[in-house]
Amino acid sequence: MEYPESNGIKVVGLDYTTGSILSELRERRGIAPHMPSPFTNSVIVGAIAGLIGFDEESLRAGFSHRFAARKQLVEPNVYIAVKVAKHVSNKFGPRLILGESMLQHEEYMVVSGNEAVSIGKIIGGLRFQS
């Protein structure tokens, strides 16, 4: 990790391995050994939350919205994200505190790169792609 650090980039290392956060989730929440893989994205969500100062309520609201159809996934994801957020915040401090949005919209669309490209193609007139 010398290259990023030599260019002024702060590297935040997190342990994804089986002997870490996901193992603790299995032990404390009774998650089956084959299940932690659906929760790995919550490690990144938690790291970002810790760096920008999101609180547990905001994380819970986001996961509740994301997993509205599978409510049993909300609490394990919140648990991981909050644990990682606290670890990152304690170790690095909140680096990037977001200000109020200057956009005057009541709702925002959050999409992946693939979804954004698909929307662009549809708006651009593409009706069939093989």
53: left (phi over 0), alpha (psi -120 to 50) or beta: left
The tens digit of pLDDT for each residue in 14-69 reads: 776 545 777 777 777 676 766 656 677 888 899 889 988 888 999 999 999 989 99
Q: So what's the pLDDT on residue 58?
A: 92
Annotate 100-126 with DSSP letters as a single string: ------S------HHHHHHHHHHHTT-
H or E element at residue 94: none
Question: Mean pLDDT in the chain?
Answer: 82
The pTM is what?
0.64
Q: Are 58 and 11 in contact (CB under 8 A)?
A: no
Domain ranges, ordered by start, for the chain? 2-99
Here the tokens at position 5 are: 């650090």
Would you say residue 105 has pLDDT above 70?
yes
